[in-house]
Amino acid sequence: MSLAENGSELDEVVWHVWKASELPEGYRAEIIEGAIEVSSTARRSHGLIANRTRRALDKFLDEGEDACHQGVIVIHNRKAWIPDAFVAPEDTEPCGDEEDLGVRADSVHLVVEVVSPGTRNQDRDRVPKRREFARAGIPVYVLIDDYDGQGAVTLFTGPRPDKADWEDIHRVPYGTDVTIPEGPAKGFMIGEDITGPKRA
């Protein structure tokens, strides 16, 4: 069996285990780079930033056909993620995967992750998820990170699926506005009204 076939078979096994998993309340499971990652639901500060982002994006997108979604699974090639927020068509019915478990990644225009406390959580959002979103060809990834210096927002654009990387990476400290450069959320600004001020 070739390495590619073995990888595909393993992805299928992980997919079925993930679908069958039943977690205690307060936990969620994602498939990231071929492994099932279990994490607890967000802490207050994390939830505050994620909810501010969702509400602001919904207001920004109000007149169009797209909306900001939370708590919905995004699926790509037997991988499954639950971003803190993402922009996709408001009507997600045509965007569902074949098993109706979530939304296909090819219908997602922008993903936002708010970094959670703890080294493992920080590493997951900064590295594997960054690669996964690039592999899926999601046009924009926004990482809001309380634990990067005094807080920073990093904007990833120009996904390169073949390299699992991004053409452009723009990082700014809290207190500096970041503007989404493309897609339905083009012109949307992430600033202190979402992140709060620089951390002490």
Is the pLDDT at 82 greater than 90? The verdict is: yes
Extended beta strands in the chain, E state: 27-32, 35-40, 66-69, 74-76, 79-81, 85-89, 103-104, 110-114, 140-145, 152-160, 165-173, 178-179, 189-190
Residue with tokens 């723009």: 170
Average pLDDT, rounded, for the chain: 91
Q: Which domains does the chain have, with CATH numbers?
A: 43-195 (3.90.1570.10)
Task: Write down the pTM of the prediction.
Answer: 0.90
Residue with tokens 């509400």: 55
Model confidence band, residue 116 (pLDDT cutoffs 50, 70, 90): confident
User: How many of the other CB atoms lie within 10 Å of CB of 4?
Assistant: 8
Tell me the two tokens of residue 169.
């990476």
Residue pLDDT, tens place only, 2-12: 334 456 888 89
